[in-house]
Structure 1
Amino acid sequence: MPRKRDRKRLKFRADDLSSHRVTVADYANSDPAIVKSGRVKKSVANAVQKEVKALCGLGSSQVPNEDGFSVLSENEQQYESSDELNDMENLNGVSTCRKKKSKKHKDNGTADITGEDYPIDIWLLLSSYIRPEDVVTFALICKKTWTVTCTAVFWMRLYKRHYHPNSYLPLTLHPACMYRLRSLRACVIRSLYHMYEPFCSRVAKNPSLPESTPNTLLNSTCLLFWCRKVTGSRPDPLWEFNFKFRKLPPKQKNHCLNELHPPAKYKEVHYNPDHECCLLQVSTLNFIFIPVVMGMTLTYLTINVSTDMRHHRVRLIFHDCPVLNGKKPRGDQGVQIVLDPVHSVHLIDWWHPKYPFSTMI
């Protein structure tokens, strides 16, 4: 128990209070053995507020009265914030736990309110100002924006906005052939790589394949294979070997666009027989006999330096089924193709201008 003289030390008049007489024992963090109430006394709180307002130059009309509240006018009371009331109630020992809980409950109720639900016509109007490289970002805003990107109107507006009569386009990508629903999206994307300057520069800056091994082709299925003789500016002709692959779809978890399918009435617009397809084009100096590998899976691909140290050497291994879980394929069980010497190697995606896409789509 504290001694009586320790408790008598805390007894002083409010009129004698100054900024130098405020001690730690006057606040809530003081020892409860010394101050039983654990809070500031009412007289001390009123005196502190009076001295603070006097130092700030406030009038006497705003000095707290004996109840601990300021004498405010009716207009001031209307705009007084709830936080100031809670602070003054704390000084007078009034418990505000229930009021804070009720206020928090109201805030939680207002937090459940979501944003505005705009009609699809507004999103269709905004889509007329979307750049081609921002189509994916626009489609990820909400489900209605994704539905807008599935419509034929969206892709036709995008085509007309970037079409130039002087730009070179294949016959199948001319405006007269674009008024159709089937494969409209794929045709517009291909035409943008002929007309839209950022996409054209992206294709021009694409690095050559020998600098990096195309690991993305592993476990891809060979759909088609053909060979042709190419005559150009060189004195000796080149032999061009083309392998058409369908890539294994990438594993992207929690990607909302992968989980959604276009509406039934827009399936013709999104139809693309060359989706996830690419062309591996290898040009050699001599003709090389190659076994039939159509329908097989590419499990190994390397691009090395040839024995003459002037060209490249391409080695491909095909198996009947894909090799997963990081296992190394066995060369003696598959079909091996070695192309040497190699003049050039190109990996062409389905949207590339040099991709030989089908005209009957």
Structure 2
Amino acid sequence: MPKKGNRKRLKFKAGDVCSESVTVADYANADPAVVKSGRVKKAVANAVEKEVKLLCGLEASHGAVKEVLSSAENARVDALHSSDDQEPEEDAVHGSKVPHKKKNKRRKESSEGSDGSAYPVDIWYVISSYIRPEDVCTFALICRDAWTVTCTAAFWTRLYRRHYRIDVHLPFHLQPDFEKMRCLRARVIRSLFHLYEPFDLRVSEIPALPESTPTTLLNSKCLLFWVRKVPGTRPEALWEFNFKLLKQQWRSKNGCTKTLHLPRQYEEVHTNPDSDCYMLQVTTLNFIFTPVVMGMTLTLFTINVSADMHHHRVRLLFQDSPLHRGKKKVDQGGLQVLLDPVQSVKVMNWWHPQYPFSLYT
């Protein structure tokens, strides 16, 4: 039986309980100082049991009502008790002692079962037939099975066929050749920037580099460097200085985070030698001698106005080691490349239509 003080503070008598006097507030807004465990008091349980029997004609029955009250109370205890509290408590209806550890385990099992439903991979495979190219990343982040579908060669093959148009001129290396699985994903993405209008417009809307700060190229390693004469220009030919830069990835101090590994049978599909690469293309009005900077790291990149006020001046500084985070930019040492006067500057990702492709991709 509950203590007299508790019964007085709840303003409740076991004999005057009816269906109208028992409200949700008696349970939801119960005083935590009085009902520390959050359990239904035995007097309340007995009164409710008696009232239910009178309403339902179950005066002679005892099992059904007790079963309902017991299940309701167990659900309430599971919702209110902490997983760290493992003290046994007296059950309000049965009078038995049930440790919290078992109830927390039951609550954990029920919560795991209510996380969601797992659908077969075939369903995600069918849904992927209606995914737009710009939504592939969002689709892959839904679940592991959706990501697995985006790893398959069939997914990228169907994406290419859905947007292929015979009236669009494609470079030879982007023509439909699905027998070659190597670099299939990279070739399909490059093709979409020719075939898919939203991607084509995205390339045309890229702002000119002199209007933005080229900080994305800092700490990039120069893989290739070459100079060529622009064909079809005037006698004072234009010259293109091309720097193929690899953006170096930094690891956190806590180590690498857990990543998903590609299925072994689709590693060829996702192979891309130009991944994380940029092409810096600087066009000058005349030939300028520059030192060899292959293998060095770009630590400084500035674009200023040329002395004639009609062109730009590009300054590149390459050093042997990358610039670590938090350190100030060093403007001394290394090899400096000064290009002036400059007509245009372009930075192209590996998927850009003007990016110099490799025969191996």
Q: Which moved more, 1:37-46 or 1:271-280?
A: 37-46
Q: 1:136 is paired with a residue of what secondary structure?
A: helix
CA distance in 2, matches of 1:235, 1:70: 106
**Offset at residue 167 of structure 1 (A):** 1.2
Please list every run of 5 or more consecutive structure 2 residues that lacks an aligned counterpart in the other structure. Answer: 23-46, 74-90
Distance 1:269 1:74, change over 3 A: farther
Alignment of 1:1-361 (within 5 A): 32=5, 38-46=10-18, 49=21, 67-69=50-52, 71-73=54-56, 108-113=108-113, 114-175=115-176, 177-232=177-232, 236-249=236-249, 259-361=259-361
Corresponding letter in the other structure for 1:348: M
Corresponding letter in the other structure for 1:277: C
**Offset at residue 37 of structure 1 (A):** 7.2
CA distance in 1, matches of 2:223, 2:277: 9
Is this contact kept in 1: 2:315–2:338, CA < 8 A? yes
1:16 alignment counterpart: none
1:169-220, CA deviations, whole angstroms, 9 ceiling, x for partnerless residues? 1011111x34311111110010011101111111111111111121111111
CA distance in 1, matches of 2:358, 2:196: 22
Residue identity over aligned pairs, in percent, reads 52
Distance 1:251 1:209, change over 3 A: farther
**Offset at residue 105 of structure 1 (A):** 7.4
Distance 1:73 1:320, change over 3 A: same
CA distance in 1, matches of 2:69, 2:198: 56
1:4 alignment counterpart: none
**Offset at residue 338 of structure 1 (A):** 0.8
Q: 1:71 is paired with a residue of what secondary structure?
A: helix
CA distance in 1, matches of 2:5, 2:257: 62
CA distance in 2, matches of 1:42, 1:140: 56
CA distance in 2, matches of 1:37, 1:295: 80
Is this contact kept in 1: 2:17–2:48, CA < 8 A? no
CA distance in 2, matches of 1:156, 1:190: 13
1:91-119, CA deviations, whole angstroms, 9 ceiling, x for partnerless residues? xxx95697998998765542221433333
Q: Which moved more, 1:194-203 or 1:302-311?
A: 302-311
Corresponding letter in the other structure for 1:40: F
Is this contact kept in 2: 1:65–1:71, CA < 8 A? no
CA distance in 1, matches of 2:244, 2:285: 21
1:3-44, CA deviations, whole angstroms, 9 ceiling, x for partnerless residues? xxxxxxxxxxxxxxxxxxxxxxxxxxxx959x8575322455
Q: 1:259 is paired with a residue of what secondary structure?
A: coil
Corresponding letter in the other structure for 1:287: F
1:40-88, CA deviations, whole angstroms, 9 ceiling, x for partnerless residues? 22455459759xxxxxxxxxxxxx999444633469x9999869x98xx
Corresponding letter in the other structure for 1:192: L
Please list every run of 5 or more consecutive structure 1 residues that lacks an aligned counterpart in the other structure. Answer: 1-30, 51-63, 87-93
CA RMSD of aligned residues (A): 3.8
Distance 1:165 1:214, change over 3 A: same
Q: Which moved more, 1:241-250 or 1:113-122?
A: 113-122
Q: How many residue pairs align between the two structures?
A: 309
Distance 1:65 1:209, change over 3 A: closer
Distance 1:308 1:165, change over 3 A: same
Corresponding letter in the other structure for 1:197: E
2:31 alignment counterpart: none
Q: 2:348 is paired with a residue of what secondary structure?
A: strand
Q: 1:180 is paired with a residue of what secondary structure?
A: coil
CA distance in 1, matches of 2:258, 2:135: 18
Is this contact kept in 2: 1:140–1:257, CA < 8 A? no
**Offset at residue 250 of structure 1 (A):** 5.8
Q: Which moved more, 1:120-129 or 1:347-356?
A: 120-129
Distance 1:283 1:43, change over 3 A: same
Q: 1:356 is paired with a residue of what secondary structure?
A: coil
Q: Which has the larger radius of gyration?
A: 1
Distance 1:336 1:125, change over 3 A: same
CA distance in 2, matches of 1:48, 1:142: 48
Q: Which moved more, 1:194-203 or 1:115-124?
A: 115-124
Distance 1:257 1:130, change over 3 A: farther
Corresponding letter in the other structure for 1:72: L
Q: 2:323 is paired with a residue of what secondary structure?
A: coil
